[in-house]
Amino acid sequence: MNTPLSFEALRSKPLLYILDYGESPDERPHMLLQQALEGESDVCVSRAEIDLRKAIEALSLITDSTINSFEALAAMALPRTTAALFWSIQSLLHRHYQNPNLPNAIHDRNHDARLLFQYLAQLNLDPWYEATVHRAALENLPANLQFPSGHPLPGYLYRQHPLKTHQHSYYPVNTYFSLLFEERKQTLLKILEALGATKVVISPIYPEASDRLRDIQPEKIEYTPDSQSISKFEPSQYSWLRYEPIWKSLVYARLKRRFQSIQFELDVDVMGILRTQVQTVAQLISGLNSVLPPDNYKDILAAELLHPVRVEVEFQNS
């Protein structure tokens, strides 16, 4: 019989895995890396890409078949450069930015695949698992935990909310940053309205970086002026404010200097987690012979993975 988890026990680890039907908490988790590698630490160059593909495909269960999701990998709090390594492997296998100038492309791709396989084989996810993941059945979860609509679900991995005031909330790892972004954006809009905003326009910064960003239309929000709102502004009412340095600067600019307009950037990153991974991915990709990213690759990668937007605000006269 499974032992019910207390919330105090959950707080010691950031990740929560909901046991799938028939799974036992004592079973070795199917997500651990060594099972996919089958004890191999190196592969022959002539078939390195094939073996690397088999290894990474066997790992698809690690995030419920979303191994290629950068958001999910970063949300899993994997050790060191593991998330960036997985993403770089996917880039190689999907032939992103393939170098067209190689005299022997197959040999160079296999050389890169062997290098990435060796990096993969050196990883040991057992310590990560023991330190960061709780496993529990649905019926054994504390009653006061909060999940997005439709969750929790068996076989899913969740990460605890980053703010201490919201640690009863858990989000699926494959939508962790996007859900937090929406939460942060709604908090930001409430702050701007309280500071006397009359119009807010939110638009993508790099619409040329990808088809996905090119399809995003600017979002426009207008407010009815309230001459009393700014005098009632109370920073402690907004839980995200203390963790967002740019927001604190704009609050100061509006309250102390009475700025009539402000422009700043916002992205899905939380506490620098994704930005660090983007830098690591760029470094790994640049070290592969068969990949030739453009000069502005880091900017493109940031646009693709951080989803940056520009926020333009107009305030009422005060």
Q: What is the 3-state secondary structure (H, E, C) of 46-105?
A: HHHHHHHHHHHHHHHHHHCCCCCCHHHHHHCCCCCCHHHHHHHHHHHHCCCCECCCCCCH
**Considering all CA atoms of the chain, what is the largest pairwise distance in Å, rounded to the nearest integer?**
72
- Give domain status of residue 181, yes or no: yes
Average pLDDT value for residue range 184-200: 95
Q: Do 84 and 43 belong to one domain?
A: yes
Q: Do 189 and 257 belong to one domain?
A: yes
Nearest CA among 189, 307, 302 for reference residue 250: 189
Q: Do 168 and 193 belong to one domain?
A: no
Quote the distance between the C-alpha of residue 194 and its chain's center: 29
- Give domain status of residue 265, yes or no: yes
Q: Do 197 and 266 belong to one domain?
A: yes
Q: Do 19 and 111 belong to one domain?
A: yes
Domain limit, last residue, from 156, 174, 192: 174
Q: Do 56 and 83 belong to one domain?
A: yes
Average pLDDT value for residue range 94-113: 88
Q: Give the contacts of 1 (CB within 8 A, at least 6 positions apart).
A: none
Whether 5 has a pLDDT exceeding 60, the answer reads yes
Whether 216 has a pLDDT exceeding 60, the answer reads yes
Q: Do 129 and 237 belong to one domain?
A: no
In this structure, what are the phi and psi dihedrals at residue 57, rounded to the nearest 5 degrees? Answer: -70, -35
Parent domain of 256: 177-315
What is the residue-averaged pLDDT of the chain? 85
Q: Do 27 and 126 belong to one domain?
A: yes
- Token pair listed for 241: 């404010």
Nearest CA among 123, 105, 116 for reference residue 287: 116
The pLDDT value recorded for residue 184 is 97
Q: Give the contacts of 317 (CB within 8 A, at least 6 positions apart).
A: 260
Q: How many angstroms separate the CA atoms of 85 and 264, rounded?
A: 31
The confidence band for 220, taking pLDDT boundaries of 50, 70 and 90, is very high
DSSP class of 2: P
Q: How many angstroms separate the CA atoms of 270 and 173, rounded?
A: 13
Whether 87 has a pLDDT exceeding 60, the answer reads yes
pLDDT in tens, 243-271: 999 999 999 999 999 999 999 999 999 98
Q: Do 118 and 184 belong to one domain?
A: no
Higher pLDDT: 42 or 312? It is: 312
Higher pLDDT: 2 or 118? It is: 118
Q: Do 19 and 68 belong to one domain?
A: yes
Burial of residue 216, with CB atoms counted within 10 A of its CB: 0-12 exposed, 13-18 middle, 19 or more buried: middle
- Give domain status of residue 292, yes or no: yes
8 A C-beta contact, residue 315 and residue 225: no
pLDDT in tens, 48-84: 888 888 887 776 545 444 445 788 889 988 888 888 8
pLDDT in tens, 109-160: 999 999 998 888 888 888 888 899 998 999 999 989 999 999 999 988 999 9
Q: Do 193 and 303 belong to one domain?
A: yes
- Token pair listed for 62: 């690690």
Whether 46 has a pLDDT exceeding 50, the answer reads yes
Average pLDDT value for residue range 28-36: 58
Q: How many angstroms separate the CA atoms of 308 and 306, rounded?
A: 6
Domain limit, last residue, from 149, 174, 199: 174
Q: Do 18 and 158 belong to one domain?
A: yes
The pLDDT value recorded for residue 65 is 45
The pLDDT value recorded for residue 237 is 93
Angle at 175 between CA 172 and CA 181, to 5 degrees: 120
- Give domain status of residue 216, yes or no: yes
- Give domain status of residue 105, yes or no: yes
- Give domain status of residue 18, yes or no: yes
Q: How many domains does the chain have?
A: 2
Quote the distance between the C-alpha of residue 102 and its chain's center: 34
- Give domain status of residue 2, yes or no: no
Domain limit, last residue, from 136, 151, 174: 174
- Give domain status of residue 1, yes or no: no
The pLDDT value recorded for residue 252 is 94
